[in-house]
Amino acid sequence: MSFRFHRGLPNISIFHSRISPPSVQALKLLQAAQTGPYPPNSNPPKPLEFNLDVVEDTPPTSDQISTILSYTKKSIGSLLSAHPSSTAAGDQPATVKGLQSLVQSNPRALKWPIVVNWDDGQAAVGDLDGVKGILESLRKKRDGEESAESDVDQPKGWFS
C-alpha cells in the first residue's frame, strides 16, 4: 500500500509597499490572476489557485531574507533600492542582519516588491517580469505542462 500526501495550494507572499509603483502593479497582477482568467485570454477562462499573503510596508525577517537570497541566488545588494534616499554608497550592508536592520530604519532602502513562491522556491525582487514568471510556472502546473510534483519527491540515483 502506498500513501501520498496531497499538496495544498501554493503559498505566495508579496512584501508590498503602497508607495512603490512596481509593487502596486505586482499586487494588482497577483490579485487579477486569482480572480479572473489567467492568462487573460485563456480558454477555458480559469483563474490560478494559490494562497496570497500580502505583507504591507513590512520588510522580510532575517530568516526570510536568507531564504529569498537562496531562491534568487543573488547577493544582498540585489535587495537594495537604487532610490536616492535609500542608502549612501558606504552604508550598504554586508550581512543579512545588517540588511534587515537597515530596512527596518529606512524602508526605502529595500527594492519593492518582493514576491515569493515558498513552495516552489521562486522569488522576484523589484521585478514585474519575475512576478509574471512565477505566475507562468503556476499556470504550467495547472494546465499539466509541468509536473505538479516537486523534484524532491522523485527518486534519484540508483533507484530511479
Which CATH number fits the domain that encloses residue 125?
Answer: 3.40.30.10
pLDDT confidence of 149, banded at 50, 70, 90?
low
Is 118 domain-assigned? yes
Mean pLDDT of the 14-41 span:
94
Can you tell me the distance from the alpha carbon of 58 to that of 98, in angstroms, rounded to the nearest whole number? 16
Kindly report, residue by residue over 109-143, the tens digit of the pLDDT: 999 999 999 999 999 999 899 999 999 999 999 98
Is 34 domain-assigned? yes
Count of CB atoms within 10 A of residue 109's CB?
21
Residue 136 half-sphere exposure toward CB, CA atoms < 13 A: 7
What's the pLDDT at 83? 65
What's the pLDDT at 82? 81
Most confident of 19-33, 39-53, 146-160: 19-33
Give the residue from 55, 38, 31 showing the smallest Cα distance to 143. Answer: 38
Task: Answer whether residue 53 shows pLDDT above 90.
Answer: yes
DSSP letter, residue 61: P
More confident: 155 or 35: 35
Mean pLDDT of the 61-81 span:
93
Total number of domains constituting the chain: 1
Is 159 domain-assigned? no
Is 23 domain-assigned? yes
Kindly report, residue by residue over 80-92, the tens digit of the pLDDT: 988 655 555 556 7
Can you tell me the distance from the alpha carbon of 93 to that of 75, in angstroms, rounded to the nearest whole number? 11
Is 153 domain-assigned? no
Cell of 97: 542582519
Q: What percent of the chain has pLDDT over 90?
A: 58
Expressed as residue numbers, the domain containing 17 is 11-82+93-147
Q: What percent of the chain has pLDDT over 70?
A: 81
